[in-house]
A and B are shown apart, each in its own frame.
Chain A
Amino acid sequence: MPNLIPIIGLEIHVELKTKSKMFCSCKNDPDHDAPNTNICEICLAHPGTLPVPNKTAIEWTVKIAQALGCKINTESKFDRKHYFYPDLPKGYQISQYDQPVGEHGKIELDFLPGKNHRDNTTIGITRVHLEEDTAKLTHGTKNETLVDFNRAGVPLVEIVSDPDIESGTEAKAYCQELQAIFRSLGVSDADMEKGQMRCEANISLQEAGQFVIEDCIVKPAKNYTLNPKVEVKNINSFRAVEKAIDFEIARQTKMLENGETWIQQTRGWDNDKNETVLQREKETSADYRYFPEPDIPPFNPSQIAGEINLPELPAAKRKRFHTEYGFSYADAGLLSNDKNWGDFAESTISEMYDWLHNLPETKANAEDTIATQKTQLAKLAGGWITSKLMGAMSERKIDIKILKIKPENFAELIALIFTNRVNSTNAQKILIEMLDSGVDMDPTHIMEEKGYGQMADEDALGKIVDEVIKNNPNQVTQFKAGKEPLLQFLKGMVMKATEGSADPGVAEKLLREKLKN
């Protein structure tokens, strides 16, 4: 069997979180209100009503196109796309056909070694255009269908990729990168589970060397017939993106290996069964009867682009977090994907540096410490943010947007750990208290109040060591007889007696001294 290459293109739809809808002044809030409350005669397509485009939605689409490195067109227009369905009040969707806002962009993806069949790749962006969302249909049990028009007319941006994606991992990374970009631009929360971001995948497998991709189209080599493509819908999470595509690659590979073929078709991802299910085989291609929307004059996105200052994009931030602060690639990736986390991490680092300049243990050599131990500091802070804090928050369903702990206090906790004032076990307890208090608490206060600080005071700790020796005569005898590992047991007993706050180094030193006698 010749080597088969998966050829995957994605169509991403993302709802913009503008205040009002795309063509009327209704509130744009498709998910949170009772059905059919954010509606008016315009989004219900009453006769004689006209669409007036939302300026912000156009600006944001230009922003997205810019962030994806697209060529921004100097002339763009809306077109009508016709089909009859109850979710489409006008009988046509206002979309963009041959003059989208932007074209020919790209996204670069990097993978940690071993995570993908190639470590980096560039995914071309065919086009970025603006359109309106449809109404939401709910099919009832009595064969009735209910229509909720709250979503009808919500601004929707469509991003079509070139067929450059070759694996489920790449597809997922591409979607995650888009989400990070939308969030950094502040144009959408792009939550796939909420339907704010939707993904449709076109997947085919072709023999290596038997095709070329020209102008975003897969073309066969001489005497080669392309294998038909499959469109997969109903993909509602990043995990589903990866799983649906991997499943489809495996399914098609097996069929081709068995010499089977199929008709171009649409399949749906079934999240419960973990498989794609046939929805329909391709009939004749739909005729949407596109024509330029006469109710809206053409516009110039390139002019709008001239007035936009893009914020730092996730890819640049990732790179900066690694080089400037010394975060690992993995932590830099996690932290730069979300603007709020990125800001939190940056503030934590700078506050932590401040603490190092102020704490008595470190202030003399703070600059030196920072310069020589940048990576260790970032590793410590990065680990505490990405695993401990994020983990505890996720268990408690706390979002970064409502997190009460400010970077200053969080950085103080990291500094306490770095200077060995508190051990890891107790630092975690402090963190949980900070989190559960519901306010922005000072970790030093908690440490002192609860006695979580490391006991390094030899007099105080000496008394506890004496107790431990007294209460464990057998182990003491065996240690003295040469069973060295029992020292660890005795140290553990000291730690237990101090509820973990003993400085392990001091405890060991005292034990050795006292057991010599």
Chain B
Amino acid sequence: MKELNTLTIKTARAGLDKKEFTSVELTQACLNRIKERNPELNAFITVCEKEALEEARAADKIITSGKALALTGIPFAVKDAICTAGVRSTASAKILDNYTPPFNATVIQKIREQGGVLIGKNNCDAFGHGASNENSMYGAVKNPHDLTKVSGGSSGGSAVAVADHMCIFAIGEDTGGSIRQPASFCGVVGLRPSYGRNSRFGIMPMASSLDTVGPFTKTVEDMAIVMDIIAGQDSLDATTVPDTVPEYSKTLNKKSKIRIGIPKEYFAFAELNKEIKTVIEEKINSLKKQSYEIVDVSLPYTKYATAVYYIVVPSEDSSNLARMDGIRYGARKQEGNLFELYAKTRDLGFPEEVKRRILIGTYALSAGYYDAYYKKAQQVRTLIKNDFDEVFKKVDVLVTPTSPFTAFNIGEKSNDPLAMYLADVMLIPAAVSGVPAISVPGGKDKNGLPIGIQVIGPRMGEEQVLQIAKQIEDSLQKQTFIC
């Protein structure tokens, strides 16, 4: 039999319900894997060993009584920038080193209500700031496919935890690409939902107008299962929408007539790796053969997306992080007067990248600069959104690479913030437009590093995004994970 920790939600559910194994065995298998691999990979900041096993025992009783819910007894991990009641949540920054939230993020609450077993909290770039997971105050996360490579970020630990089978699925957060890029670098499925689809309550914010919360899974089918549980309007998040949520796992295999757009701008980036280009083109051909209509399209404002992003995000970021003041919770450096307390607490508690963004954002929002930066960026953002609105009149989804390159070396870009910012170039346009996008494994490069394929859909169009992602996944030979 396969190692239990390598199971998917679907296969684990079946095995648990048929009593082939217990949740305690499943959870223990994940914990063993964490013990074995985490010292090297650094994917977890907190492991809830005792609590997880207790929860697993309780889950086994429920399963025995025949009252199992969708996730009863299934171990999952959560990015540490997401609040989990009673479990330390640091956002990978020392300023929250001692912070234990008294409440669950809404998506976590929903997963807990369906019986999910919380196995631990994942390392990430501090407060989500980064694309390599090197900006954590708890050390970098390493790529399980090659320990000299980055995991991608910011939700790197969660991608690694799923790719390396330390858990069955994980929950991450995507502002500009923080789910899709590590998913692509680590070879797992990662979904950024439409803005307003999943509640942001309890997700430590980076840029409120872009932040989304989504799952990392081993298969597209698992993705649909988790989305069925976490999607929907929340009375605690005024930006969630009342639209009915489709039953994603039921419509997943429906072969709808879907027109696929290929945006030329995504293939024109100078940085785009030839191997990746070839892999994508193969996938497009394979979709064509399955009689999907392929249409060449254009998103002319794509090139402005990164510039817009790096004005809007630091601006909102600088505001959202103002509450980290050492007064009510978290670490405090009690020294000197009030100003010094603030300054020293924040100086010690934030890493360099966080400080950089606070400075940029504070500048961009200052009197006299607001119109030139934040306001202008929001206007350009509207143009980028219009690009997508226009293109989705012609096609139902877009297929692009997730990243112009596969996982890069640790340290390679960490001293060059601009190069790091450009790593998200294919991910940011969907993010600033609030549309859903998934990264699904598409193969590997000659060094054995995963290549991700991105499927982008219109707002609230997760259904067709998942359907095409499933087709791409199916067209691959049965996905082989390491280990």
Contacts and interface: CB of A to CB of B under 8 A. Distances in A.
Interface of B is mostly: loop
A489 interface: no
Nearest to A51: B238
Interface in B287-345: 315-316, 318-319, 321-325, 327-329, 338, 342
Contacts of A51: 238
B238 A90 contact: no
Given A91-B319, A92-B319, A291-B315, A50 B238 contact: yes
B208 A52 contact: no
A41 B238 contact: no
Contacts of B365: 82, 289-291
A26 to B, nearest CB: 13
Interface stretch (A3-11, A294-302, A404-412): A294-302
Contacts of A290: 365, 370
A92 B208 CA distance: 14
B316 A91 contact: no
Contact of A47 (B323, B366, B370): B323
B269 interface: no
A220 interface: no
A296 to B, nearest CB: 5
Interface of A is mostly: loop
A47 B204 contact: yes
A61 to B, nearest CB: 17
B56 interface: no
A48 B322 contact: no
B108 to A, nearest CB: 10
B238 A296 contact: yes
Interface stretch (B95-103, B140-148, B387-395): B95-103
Leading 3 A-B pairs by shortest Cβ distance: A91-B322, A294-B208, A294-B209
B63 interface: no
A235 B207 CA distance: 40
B205 interface: yes
Contact of B201 (A50, A92, A291): A50
B40 to A, nearest CB: 29
A294 B322 contact: no
B316 A46 contact: no
Given A41-B103, A296-B238, A47 B325 contact: no
Contacts of B1: none
A131 to B, nearest CB: 16
Nearest to B105: A48
A48 B83 contact: yes
Interface string A82-107: 10101001111000000000000000
B351 interface: no
A45 interface: yes
Given A52-B237, A289-B367, A294-B208, A41 B319 contact: no
Contacts of A47: 83, 89, 91, 96, 99, 101, 204-205, 323-324
B362 interface: yes
Nearest to B368: A287
B200 interface: yes
Contacts of B374: 291
Given A45-B323, A291-B315, A52 B238 contact: yes
Interface string A287-320: 1011100111100000000000000000000000
Interface of A: 41, 44-53, 80, 82, 84, 86, 89-92, 147, 287, 289-291, 294-297
B69 interface: no
A46 B101 contact: yes
Nearest to B363: A289
A90 B323 contact: yes
Contacts of B14: none
Interface in B189-208: 200-205, 207-208
B235 A45 contact: no
B476 interface: no
B366 A287 contact: yes
Give the residue among A50, A52, A92 with the most B Cβ atoms within 10 A.
Answer: A50
A52 B327 CA distance: 23
B236 interface: yes
Given A44-B328, A84-B322, 19 more contacts: A41-B102, A46-B102, A46-B103, A47-B83, A47-B91, A48-B200, A48-B201, A48-B202, A48-B203, A49-B202, A50-B239, A82-B365, A84-B325, A89-B323, A89-B327, A287-B367, A290-B365, A290-B370, A291-B374
Contacts of A46: 83, 101-103, 328-329
Given A91-B325, A294-B209, A289 B366 contact: yes
Contacts of A49: 103, 201-202
Contacts of A48: 82-83, 101, 105, 200-205
A44 B316 CA distance: 19
Nearest to B209: A294
Contact of A295 (B82, B238, B323): B238
A171 to B, nearest CB: 30
Nearest to B367: A287
Contacts of B370: 289-291
Nearest to B365: A289
9 contacts: A45-B323, A47-B89, A48-B82, A52-B238, A147-B327, A289-B365, A291-B370, A294-B208, A297-B239
B85 to A, nearest CB: 10
A296 B240 CA distance: 10
Interface string B76-115: 0000001100000101000010010111010000000000
A92 B321 CA distance: 10
Give the residue among B96, B208, B236, B327 with the most A Cβ atoms within 10 A.
Answer: B327
A45 B320 CA distance: 10
B239 to A, nearest CB: 6
Nearest to B322: A91
A279 to B, nearest CB: 17
B316 to A, nearest CB: 6
B99 to A, nearest CB: 7
Give the residue among A48, A49, A84 with the most B Cβ atoms within 10 A.
Answer: A48
Nearest to B324: A47
A147 B325 CA distance: 14
Contacts of A89: 323, 327-328
A295 B83 contact: no
A5 B201 CA distance: 54
Interface string B214-256: 0000000000000000000001111100000000000000000
B342 to A, nearest CB: 6
Nearest to A83: B322
Nearest to A84: B342
Given A89-B323, A289-B367, A45 B328 contact: yes
B87 to A, nearest CB: 13
A92 B83 contact: no
Contacts of B342: 84
Given A287-B366, A287-B367, A50 B323 contact: no
Contacts of A287: 366-367
Give the residue among A45, A47, A90 with the most B Cβ atoms within 10 A.
Answer: A47
